[in-house]
Amino acid sequence: MSANINPRVRLPQKAKPGEIIEIRTLVSHQMETGQRVDGAGARIPRKIINRFTASFNGKTVFEADWQPAISANPYQSFSFRARESGEFKFVWRDDDGVEHTASATLTVG
């Protein structure tokens, strides 16, 4: 399993009041399903990101539970209606309880 977990987020820096924006996220992660075996025949343990949460100014605006069938380096996009300026926080949580985070600021006006 690669230790290089690299969350990336893309959204506009500015939006007009009421504008619907698209937020795109991608995290580098192998997403080992627990179904494969190594060269010695031993099962490779499951290690996936199983939860993604996005919050804006401390309020959850999007969340998803991911299952083993999700691809490696999972991509997630969603829409958001911009009403005020603030900060997004994005959290990816894996099977071991480790959280990987990213943040981004949106200016509305």
CATH of the domain at 39: 2.60.40.10
108 within a domain of the structure (yes/no): no
45 within a domain of the structure (yes/no): yes
- 30-88 tens-digit pLDDT: 888 888 999 999 999 988 999 999 999 999 999 999 988 888 899 999 999 999 999 99
Return the pLDDT at 89.
98
77 within a domain of the structure (yes/no): yes
On the question of pLDDT at 2 being above 70, the answer is no
Q: How far is CA 66 from CA 4, 14, 69, 87, in A?
A: 20, 30, 8, 24
For the chain, how many structural domains are there in total? 1
On the question of pLDDT at 12 being above 80, the answer is yes
**What's the predicted TM-score (pTM) here?**
0.88
70 within a domain of the structure (yes/no): yes
Q: HSE on the CB side for 99, CA within 13 Å?
A: 8
Domain that holds residue 67: 1-52+63-81
87 within a domain of the structure (yes/no): no
Return the pLDDT at 3.
56
Enumerate residues 6+ apart whose C-beta is below 8 A from 91. 51, 52, 53, 54, 55, 99, 100, 101
